[in-house]
Amino acid sequence: MWTKEQSQTIEQRDKNILVSAAAGAGKTAVLVERIKKMVTEENIPVDSMLIVTFTNAAAAEMKEKIRKALSEKVTEMPELQRQLDILPRANISTFHSFALDVIRHFFYKIDLDPDFSICDEAQSAVIREEAMDELFRRYYEEFSPDFERLLDWYGSERGDDGAKVIIRGLYVSLMAMPEPFESLQKKIEELTLDEEEFKKTDAYGFMTEAVCETLKGICADVRKMRDLLDEHGVSSLSNKLEARETFFEELLKSADDGDLTKVYESMDLEPNVRLVSAKDEREAYEEIKGIVGKYNDRSKKRINDMKESFFAESLPDMLLSLQKTHPIAGTIQRMLTDFDRLFSEKKREKKVMDFSDIEHFCFDILKEEDVAEYYRNRFEYIFIDEYQDTNVLQEAIVARVARDNNLFMVGDIKQSIYKFRLAEPEIFKGKYEKYADGTDKKSVKIDLNKNFRSAPAILDWVNERFKGIMEDYTEEAYLYPGNRCRGERSFPPEVRLIDMAEREDAGEVLKELKAGEAEALEVCRIIGENAGKEYEVVETVNGEEVRTRKKINFRDIVVLMRAVSGNAQVYAEAMKKFGIPCYVDDSKGYFDTIEVEVFMNLLRLMDNRYRDSELISVLRSEILGFTTDELAELRNRHRNGTFAEAFIAEANEYESGSSAEKEMHASQNPRETGGGRQDIDESSGRDSIASKTAFAMRKFNTWKSWALSLPLSDFVWKLLMDTGYYLAAGAMPAGVQRQANLRALCDKSRKFEENGQSSLYGFIRYVENIDKNDIRTGQVKLLGENDDVVRIMTIHKSKGLEFPVVICAGMGKKLMYSTTKSKVAFHKDIGLGMVIENPEAGTEKKSLIYDIILKKIHREEVEENIRVLYVAFTRAKEKLYLTGTVKDAEKYIESEELNTSGDTTCLSLLGEIPDVKIVEAGSLVGKSAEQNKGTLEESETRERTDEKAETRERTGYDAGPGGGTSQALEIDRRLGFTYPHAEAQEIRSKYSVSSLNRKAHTPASGSNCEKVAEIGFEFSLPVPGFFQGNADLSAAERGTVYHRIMEKLDFTYAEADGKEYIEHRIAELVEKKILTENEASSVDVECINGFFRSEPGIRAVRAARKGLLVKEQPFNLMSERGGERIIIQGIIDCYFREGDEIVLLDYKTNRIDPLKSFDEESERLSGLYGEQMHLYKTALEEATNLKVKNTYLYLMSVGKALELTV
C-alpha cells in the first residue's frame, strides 16, 4: 500500500525529519498513519504531540482524520478509547492557536493582563490608525530637523500620507521577525560601512549574483545571435560579434570572482559592433534581421539596466551616497519604535491583542528558559504541516520548544505561494540542503515525489515545463505517477491562445469584443467539451488498484485565475448565457456587492446626512425608490449648494407649506408598506416629488433617533427590517445570497459591539478600514462541496484541492510586480534602502541598497509566480487547459520561441510551449448570443448514442470554423429550456404535466367507470369555507393565487412571524398589483400558516435558511409515450436539498370529501397525482443527478401533508 519513501516517513524515529512532499504525494495520509502508529503501537499519548498547520480548517480536518484512524482500531484495541477521549484536547491547531495557549498559561511572564481578547484585522487597523495619527501629531509638535527632512523627502503637497505609508509598510514587514527592531538596527548600521566591510554583507553578495545572472543572459543572447547568423551563412557579422561575446565572457569571469570593480571599470569598453552584413550576405541576412535585432535589443536592455542599477557610479561613490541615507534611516527607526510603543499601549488599554501580537508575545514568553523547558518536556513529538509557508518568527518559536530529534516537518517548497503573508520558503530550502548533505546525524530528509492525483500526461507536461524555469527542479523533484494502472487514456494538457488580432473582414461585434469576454467564451466551450463525459478513476479496493469510470459533473470543473476581483464576473456572465451554473469564490467582493454598499450608505447618512453620493445612492435604491428623473428635477429646483442641501431645502419647503396645501396633497403622501419604499402618484408632478422628499426626510429623522437611542446591533437590524431592504434584496437576482450578505453585516455590528464598541461612527470607520486595508472579506458562502456548479476561484484558494478538469484562465494577462510602490524598501536579508531626494533641485536618485532590494524582491516575485503556476497545474486529475488572449498570436508565438517576452505574463514565464492551439476571436462570435443560446437548448434534445451511458451526449454552440462543442447543463437549463426547433425533429408533440395527468386518469370508452365517478365527484362537491365568498374565481384561479403567494413568501419570516407576516405580504402583493383585491380575499391565511407547522414545511424553512430552497422551477423533460418521443413541460412548486438528496413538494388546493376519511381521500389523491409527481421526480433527478428521497403533497384545504410513494 505504501511506497518505500512513504514507509520510511511513517516508520523513521529519533531524528528530525524533513519530508519534501510533491503535489498529490499523499502527505496528509502519511502524516496521519505516522501518528496512528505512534499512538497504537508505541503507546504515545495523542496529547503529548504538537501538530501544527496553517488554517483552522486544515487543523479540524487533521483532527478528524486522526479520530477516524483511531476509531477504526478501537474495537480490537479498547484501550484506544482513552486516546479518543483526550483527542479533543490534543494540540492539533494553527500556530496562532498554539501561541495563544502559551500566552494563556504564562501571561504573567510578560506582565500581560489575563483579561484580554483577540481583535480582528479591521479592529486592529482602526487602533493602528489611531496610533499612527498620534505618532505624527507628537512629531509635528516637536518638528525636529530630522522629521522635517523626512517629510521633505517622502511627504507630498497634499500632506504626510507618503510618510505614513512608509511607516505602516515597514512595520508590517518587521513584525514577521522574532526581534524586529534589533534586526533593523543592524541593517541600518550597514549603511555606514566602508568598501571592504560592505563586500562582506548579504547585500553585496546578492548584487554579485544579480550581475552574474545578467551577464550570463547577455552572453546567451550574443551566442544565439551568432548561431543564427552562422546557420544562415552570415559569417562576416558573426565574426564581428565574436569580440563582443568574448568581452562579456571576461566580465562574467570577473563577476564570478567577486571583482565588481573590474566590471565597473570595463563597462564602457564594450566593442561597438554595427549589425551590417557583407554585400554578398545581405539577402540571407534580411531573412533573419528582425530576429537578430530582437536578441540585440534585449541584450542592450540588460546592459543598460545593469549599468543603471549597479554601475552608474563607482562602488566608493555609491557608498558615499548610501551614507547620506543614514540620518533618515535613523529617523524612520525611531518613528517605528515609537509607533510600536503607542500601538501596543492602545491595545493594552483596550485589553486586546491582534494576530501579530499573539506570536510575538508567545516568543517573548518562550525566551524564558523554564517555560521553553516545560514545553520541550511536554511534547514527545512535534509535527509541522505546510512547512514551506513558515515565517522567521514561527521558526524561532518552534526552535524554542523542539528537542534535537523530535521534529517532523512536511511541505513542498515548490508550493510556497504565500510570500505576501511573509512566508519564507528559504527556511525550507536551507533546512533541505542542510539535511541532504548528511553531516547532521540526527536529521534526515525524505522525498515523496510519486503523484497519486494527476494523469501521467499531465505529470510529464509539468515536468517538461518546470525543469527549465524553476530553481532546483531536478529529477529528484520531478513528479512520477503513483498509480500503476493509469496511462492508457491520458490526455496531454492543452494551451489555447485567443487571437484578438483584427482581420480585414472583422465585423463590428468582433471589434467591440473585449479580450476577457472572448476568453470567457472559449472557457465555456471547454466546459461544454467536458461536462457530461466520463473519465477513468483508479481506486484501491482491498489493496488492489482497480479502474472505474465516473461522469464529469459541473462540480468536477474549476476555472483558476491569479485574481478573481474584476475578472471573474465576465466569465460568470458568459456561463450564465450558456446555461452553465457557476460560483465565484471571491474573498474581497463583500463590500462591493450592491446590497451591502447601499445599506452602508444608509448607515453613513445616519451619521452624516450631508454626504451627497451616499444620499443619492439611498434615494435611488429600493429603500425609497426615487427615479433618476425625480432626482434630476429635485436638483434643478435647488441649484445652489450641495445635493444634500437641495434635498433638505425641498423637504423643508414642503413641511413649511400651508395646512391647506398639505391637506390637498395628503392623499399623495407615501404610504408605508412595511418598508421604506413608497408608491407615489407620479402624475402629480412637483408636489409628488416634494411630498416624497419630505417623507424621506421624516424617515431619516426617525431612523436617526433610533441610532441615538438603540444599541448598535439592534439599530442595524431594525433599520434593515423597517426599510424593507432585506425583503427587497431577497427579490433581486441571487436574493438568498444578498440576504445572507446583509445578515453578515448585522453580525459584524454585533461582534463590533461585543468588543466594547458602540458608536455608529466607530462601526462605519471599522467597516471602512476593512475595505481600505484590503482585509479579505468575501461574500457569505452558501455553497457546499457537492453543489453541482463550476467553481471560479484564485489559484491560491485552490491549494490543497483537486479537480478532474482544471482550466487555468487569464494566462495571457500581464503580471503585476510590487517593486516600485514605495520610496523606502526593506528586505530582511539586504536591509533598508531609500530613494535619495533633493527637494531643492527637484531630483531623486535610488540608493545602491534600494536598487539591490528591488532586484531581490523582483526575483523572489518571479520565483513565486512560477510556484503559483505549479500549484495551479497540479490541481488537475484528468485534464488541464490553459487559456489566454493575445493581441496578435503570430507575433506572440514568435517572441516566445525567441524567449524575448521575459516574465511579463504567466505564459511567458513558461517559455516556449509546443502544440499551442490558436483560436481566432472571430470564431467565438460567429453567432449572436440568442442564436448560441438557442443552439444550446436544441442540443439538449439529442438522444444519447450509448445506451449504457447514464446521461445524454450533448453538442454545443457552433464556434465557427475549427470550433469545438459546448453544452448547457445547468440545472435551470436542464429543467427550463425553450425548445427552438420542434418542427424539424421527430418529436411529435408537447404535453404539459397537468394534461398528461388528466390523460392518465381519463378512461377509454366503456371502461374504468370508477375513475369517471371520482373525477365527476371532484366537481360536484360543495365549496369549502376557505374558498367561499368569491364566486368570481374558478378553482384553477384560486389555486394559482395560492401558488403565487407561496412563491413570494420568505419562508424564514413566515415561520417566525406567522399570520402577521403572511397577511402583510399578501397586502404588499395587492399594492404591487401582483394580486387583485378579489384574489386576496379568497385566501385563508390560516391554511397557508399551517404549512409552516407541518413536517415538510419545517424542513423547507430549515433549507431556506441555508439557501437550499427552490420555488416555481419550470422544466422540460424528454420522454416516450406510446412509442413516440414527446416533450413534457411543467413547473415544480418547490424542492429543497437535504444533504445529497432532494425533497419534492407540491401544493394542492383540492377539496376534500367531508363524508370520507382522510385515509380514503389520501388514497384517491395519491392515485390522481401519482403520475404527475413521478414526472417531477424524474425531471429533478435527471437535472441534478441527486436522488429525490421524499415526495409530498401539501393539502391547503385541511392543512395536512401527504407523502407519496412514486
Cα–Cα distance, 167 to 132 (Å, whole number): 9
- SS3 helix, strand, coil % of the chain, rounded to 5? 55, 15, 30
**Pairing mode, if any, of strands 1109-1121 and 1124-1138?**
antiparallel
Confidence band (pLDDT; 50, 70, 90) for 732? confident
Q: What is the pLDDT of residues 485-541, one digit of tens each?
A: 554 567 899 999 999 887 655 555 555 567 788 899 999 999 999 998 888 777 666
Residues 4-118+350-448, CATH architecture: 3-Layer(aba) Sandwich (3.40)
User: Quick one: pLDDT at residue 189?
Assistant: 94
The answer, yes or no, to whether residue 892 has pLDDT greater than 80, is no
Cα–Cα distance, 240 to 271 (Å, whole number): 9
Cell of 913: 510551449
Q: Which CATH number fits domain 590-772: 1.50.10.10, 1.10.486.10, 3.40.50.2000, 3.20.20.70?
A: 1.10.486.10
Cell of 752: 463590533
Give the 3-state secondary structure of 93-154.
Answer: EEHHHHHHHHHHHHHHHHCCCCCCEECCHHHHHHHHHHHHHHHHHHHHHHCCHHHHHHHHHH
Give every CB contact of residue 362 below 8 A, 6+ residues apart in sequence: 98, 99, 100, 102, 103, 397
Amino acid sitting at position 884: G
The full DSSP string for 1094-1147 is SHHHHHHHHHHHTT-EEEEEEEEEEEEETTEEEEEEEEEEEEEEETTEEEEEEE
Confidence band (pLDDT; 50, 70, 90) for 686? very low
Cα–Cα distance, 107 to 111 (Å, whole number): 6
User: Quick one: pLDDT at residue 616?
Assistant: 93
Give every CB contact of residue 1140 below 8 A, 6+ residues apart in sequence: 786, 1186, 1187
Give every CB contact of residue 659 below 8 A, 6+ residues apart in sequence: none
Confidence band (pLDDT; 50, 70, 90) for 1160? confident
Cα–Cα distance, 371 to 460 (Å, whole number): 50
User: Quick one: pLDDT at residue 537?
Assistant: 76
Mean of pLDDT values over 80-89: 90
Cα–Cα distance, 486 to 453 (Å, whole number): 11
User: Quick one: pLDDT at residue 733?
Assistant: 73
The answer, yes or no, to whether residue 112 has pLDDT greater than 80, is yes
Confidence band (pLDDT; 50, 70, 90) for 1023? very low
Which contiguous run of DSSP H or E holds residue 494?
Answer: strand 494-499
The reply to whether 590-772 and 993-1204 are identical in fold is: no
Other CB atoms within a 10 A radius of the CB of residue 981 amount to 12
Q: Do 92 and 62 touch, CB atoms closer than 8 A?
A: yes
What does the radius of gyration of the chain's CA atoms come to, in whole angstroms?
A: 36
Mean of pLDDT values over 901-921: 82
Q: Do 929 and 577 touch, CB atoms closer than 8 A?
A: yes
Cα–Cα distance, 1165 to 1001 (Å, whole number): 12
SS3 794: strand
Cα–Cα distance, 36 to 413 (Å, whole number): 26
Give every CB contact of residue 677 below 8 A, 6+ residues apart in sequence: 622, 623, 624, 625, 723, 724, 728
Which contiguous run of DSSP H or E holds residue 790?
Answer: strand 790-794
User: Quick one: pLDDT at residue 678?
Assistant: 39
The full DSSP string for 726-756 is HHHHHHSTTHHHHHHHHHHHHHHHHHHHHTT
Mean of pLDDT values over 782-807: 86
Q: pTM to 2 decimals?
A: 0.71
Q: What is the pLDDT of residues 155-199, one digit of tens each?
A: 876 678 889 999 999 999 999 899 999 999 999 999 999 999 999
User: Quick one: pLDDT at residue 577?
Assistant: 83
Give every CB contact of residue 1066 below 8 A, 6+ residues apart in sequence: 1045, 1075, 1080, 1083, 1085
Distances (CA, A) of 39 to 33, 74, 78, 79: 10, 12, 13, 11
User: Quick one: pLDDT at residue 977?
Assistant: 39
- Selected residue with higher pLDDT from 360 and 943: 360
Report the phi/psi class of residue 138: left, alpha or beta, with left for phi > 0 and alpha for psi in -120 to 50.
alpha
| Straight-line distance from the first to the last Cα atom of the chain, in angstroms, rounded to the nearest whole number | 45
Mean of pLDDT values over 1131-1153: 89
User: Quick one: pLDDT at residue 1119?
Assistant: 64
Q: Do 1008 and 592 touch, CB atoms closer than 8 A?
A: no
The answer, yes or no, to whether residue 786 has pLDDT greater than 90, is no
Q: Which CATH number fits domain 993-1204: 3.90.320.10, 3.30.200.20, 3.90.1210.10, 3.60.110.10?
A: 3.90.320.10
Q: What is the pLDDT of residues 992-1014, one digit of tens each?
A: 555 455 444 443 333 333 222 22
Distances (CA, A) of 138 to 142, 172, 272, 466, 572: 6, 21, 59, 53, 51
- The domain spans of the chain are 4-118+350-448, 196-312, 462-585+783-821+862-969, 590-772, 993-1204
Report the phi/psi class of residue 1188: left, alpha or beta, with left for phi > 0 and alpha for psi in -120 to 50.
beta
Q: What is the pLDDT of residues 262-276, one digit of tens each?
A: 999 998 888 888 888
The full DSSP string for 968-1004 is ---HHHHHH-----GGGSS--EEEEHHHHHHHHHSPP
Q: Do 1148 and 1008 touch, CB atoms closer than 8 A?
A: no
Cell of 386: 505546510
Q: In the CATH hierarchy, which fold is given to the domain comprising 462-585+783-821+862-969? A: Rossmann fold (3.40.50)
Distances (CA, A) of 200 to 193, 197, 265, 316: 10, 5, 21, 15
Which contiguous run of DSSP H or E holds residue 534?
Answer: strand 534-541
Cα–Cα distance, 911 to 898 (Å, whole number): 9
Q: Do 443 and 408 touch, CB atoms closer than 8 A?
A: no
